[in-house]
Amino acid sequence: AQTVTQSQPEMSVQEAETVTLSCTYDTSESDYYLFWYKQPPSRQMILVIRQEAYKQQNATENRFSVNFQKAAKSFSLKISDSQLGDAAMYFCAYRSAGNQFYFGTGTSLTVIP
Amino acid sequence: GAVVSQHPSRVICKSGTSVKIECRSLDFQATTMFWYRQFPKQSLMLMATSNEGSKATYEQGVEKDKFLINHASLTLSTLTVTSAHPEDSSFYICSARDRSRASGYTFGSGTRLTVV
């Protein structure tokens, strides 16, 4: 079974600074997708960014970018110019070939004004 | 964009009763929906994959007879927690797959179930 590990239960960042959230995963599949989701206090899961495993280029969405290292099975999220609205739980997720999602344990991000 | 409506958002029930949670895709057809359970300050755990017109596929350790899933149409999946007990209290979230969109998956807003 696939496993997703987020080793940082909590992180904090100063407003306007940059923070990197770590994620590693374990799989025997070669074709899969990776995601970062944000869950604010409302509990709504919001897609932040996605990465196809077959693409070598790292995905970027405005202030959010990933560092995808397929051989190392690492998928970190970088948030640049952090804003107060970025404060939330962040979940790394793996989507298998069978279209099932497996989530990490989450990282609680605090943005300090 | 794709919208998934989950209802109710909160429900309180007595031990021994059953509760039904609905997950609807409002503007797309979802052949596949997923049900997750999330304990406080923990991750989402996949419970089952719901396929329209066929039986759901349950993850290991999830009781099929306790968590009944029905996906009778392309826009609706239901999760029924039968004979609920306090340990079933949790946050339940559904997601639906929209094949027409690149990002593909949209989550409902969740249901907070409290069994007293």
What confidence tens digit (pLDDT) does each residue in A37-93 have? Answer: 999 988 889 999 999 999 889 999 999 999 999 999 999 999 999 999 999 999 999
Of the pLDDT bands very low, low, confident and very high (cuts 50, 70, 90), residue A30 is: confident
Coil, helix or strand at residue B60: coil
In this complex, the residue of A42, A98, A106 whose CB is nearest that of residue B43 is A106
Task: Tell me what pLDDT residue A1 has.
Answer: 65
A110 against A98, higher pLDDT? A110
**Contact A91/B49, CB-based, under 8 Å?**
no
In eight-state DSSP terms, residue B40 is T
Report the b/e string of A64-90 with b at 16+ CB within 10 A: bbbbbeeeebbbbbbbeebeeebbbbb
Strand-pairing partners, residue B57, are: B49
Concatenated DSSP letters of A49-113: EEEETT--SPPEETTEEEEEETTTTEEEEEE-S--GGG-EEEEEEEE-TTS-EEE---EEEEEE-
The tens digit of pLDDT for each residue in B62-106 reads: 999 999 999 989 999 999 999 999 999 999 999 998 877 766 788
Task: Tell me what pLDDT residue B39 has.
Answer: 85
Task: Tell me what pLDDT residue B41 has.
Answer: 77
Task: Please report where in the chains the tokens 């009781």 appear, as a residue.
Answer: B63
| CB within 8 Å of chain A, chain B residues 55-114 | 91, 93, 95, 97, 103, 105, 107, 109-110
